[in-house]
Amino acid sequence: MTSDRLPAVTPADHVSGSRQGHWTYKSYAALPDDGKRYEIVDGVLYISPSPSAPHQRIAGRFYYYLLTYVEFIGTGLVFQAPLDVQLTPDRVFQPDVFVLLNSSLDKYTESCIIGAPDLVIEVASPSTAIFDRHEKLQAYARSGVTEYWIAEPGTKTVEVLVLHSGTYRSLGIFRGQASLPSRVVPEIAEVPVEQFFSIK
């Protein structure tokens, strides 16, 4: 008998360490490496299901194209999970892909990024979509992430959100031959959205 219940991002109440609501990067960094993906939202530790192979391949395509239009032209650095981003001591994430422009490179350390990236991309899945569009979206906005893209593999679309007066405003949802109107990486307009999802 199989279950129709899909895995989802859930509070990691069973993990020993700090009490929920009191997790910080320091206590998170002290966790043993058990191969699981943890993130912190306002002191609450969450555990995420392992990403699927298609998810990782799509994230890899975003990483590839951003290398071309950021690192290779010298405007910043591009990173891919798993790497910790400490937005604040009690907000810690491992975005699928993110960009630090040259003006933000002081946030780079060998162990983690400290502060808000200029661009964050999350590849949503049935198990993470709600978390990506609610908890993460709010935390990224409050922490000053300038631009947030949410990629939806099921519909092969990308929504571009830009920070305006502390909240995100959508520039639209794009697919197919459309290009992304990024303000952080304007050169990415040369890439049709369908290229991010063209995996076999």
What's the pLDDT at 5?
A: 63
- Coil, strand, or helix at residue 66? helix
Helix %, strand %, coil % for the chain, to 5? 30, 30, 40
Q: How far is CA 4 from the centre of its chain?
A: 27
- Coil, strand, or helix at residue 136? helix
Q: pTM (2 decimals)?
A: 0.92
What's the pLDDT at 1?
A: 43
Report which DSSP code applies to 151.
Answer: E
Kindly state the percentage of the chain with pLDDT values over 70.
96
What's the pLDDT at 35?
A: 84
Kindly state the percentage of the chain with pLDDT values over 90.
82
Q: Which residues have CB under 8 Å from 76's CB, separation 6+?
A: 70, 99, 100, 101, 102, 104, 105, 118
The Cα–Cα gap between 4 and 76 comes to 43
Mean pLDDT for 169-191 is: 97
Mean pLDDT for 93-119 is: 97
Q: Which residues have CB under 8 Å from 19's CB, separation 6+?
A: none
Per-residue pLDDT tens over the stretch 117-171: 999 999 998 888 888 999 999 999 999 999 999 999 999 999 999 999 999 999 9
pLDDT at 189 over 80: yes
Kindly report which listed range (31-45, 83-97, 103-117, 153-167) carries the lowest average pLDDT score: 31-45
Query: Predicted confidence band at 50 (pLDDT cuts at 50, 70, 90)?
Result: confident
The Cα–Cα gap between 87 and 200 comes to 35
pLDDT at 2 over 60: no
Domain map of the chain by residue range? 10-46, 50-197
CATH number for 50-197: choose from 1.10.10.10, 2.60.120.10, 3.90.1570.10, 3.30.1490.20. 3.90.1570.10
Mean pLDDT for 90-115 is: 96
